[in-house]
Amino acid sequence: MDRNQLIQKCEASIRWLDHHIDDLSVPNKLRTRLAGGCLDQALEHQKAIVLLVANQLHGSAFAIMRMLLEAYVRGIWLNRCATDSELERISNGGGLKSFGKLVEAIDKLEGFEATLFTQIKEQSWTIMNGFIHTGLEQISRRNTEKTIEPNHDEDEILKALNFSAGIGWLAAIEICHVAQNDKLAATILEKMKESFAV
């Protein structure tokens, strides 16, 4: 699948998800408000990545990858792991635990035992930091042999789109859990499987 086809596929998935989760009723509790805010932000980051890639603004798209992952992980942690006292502290301006600590807690949850987020952190965190903080990872992709301009590998762009799409699907599923709508979560999971099977 080429870049334009993948962009169209991502845009279609975004429209499908928006149709199914917009106006989803969420309990008015501190936990659901904090978690839902993170997960909704993750979905916006995913949309932004697709939009940026479609407009050939690849450096900015790569920079947002870490923010996308962090918003999703924080949403899961707030929804499933945070204690009531941690939620109160956070709502009063206290910071969250480090990303590593959030990932450790999530990887102990039922259904997350495959340590996916620990693996992503170990394999990709340094490069994501380089992209977001304009490190060598970002700078080196702005040079060609003769000019200073974007020079991103096509395979990396496709991987970024697929990664962001996957996190978008997962964030939508977690929003369903926040809303206590397991039926819709199952529907989205099946649609996600179909999307990645093609």
pLDDT value of position 23: 87
Q: Where are the alpha helices (DSSP H) in 55-83?
A: 58-80
The percentage of the chain sitting over the pLDDT mark of 70, rounded to a whole number, equals 99
Confidence label for 117 from pLDDT (cuts 50, 70 and 90): confident
**Backbone phi and psi for residue 96, each to the nearest 5 degrees, phi listed first:** -85, 165
Q: Are 131 and 36 in contact (CB under 8 A)?
A: no
Question: Which of 178, 160, 187 has its CA nearest to residue 17?
Answer: 187
pLDDT value of position 68: 97
What pTM, to 2 d.p., does this model score? 0.93
Residues near 125 by beta carbon (within 8 Å), at least 6 away in sequence? 66, 99
The string of pLDDT tens digits covering residues 126-156 is 899 999 999 999 999 998 889 998 889 999 9
Q: Does residue 115 have a pLDDT over 90?
A: no
The string of pLDDT tens digits covering residues 45-62 is 999 999 999 999 999 999
Tell me which long-range contacts 120-125 makes (C-beta under 8 A, separation of at least 24).
120/69, 125/66, 125/99
Q: Where are the domains of the chain?
A: 3-18+27-197
pLDDT value of position 182: 95
Q: Does residue 1 have a pLDDT over 90?
A: no
pLDDT value of position 198: 58
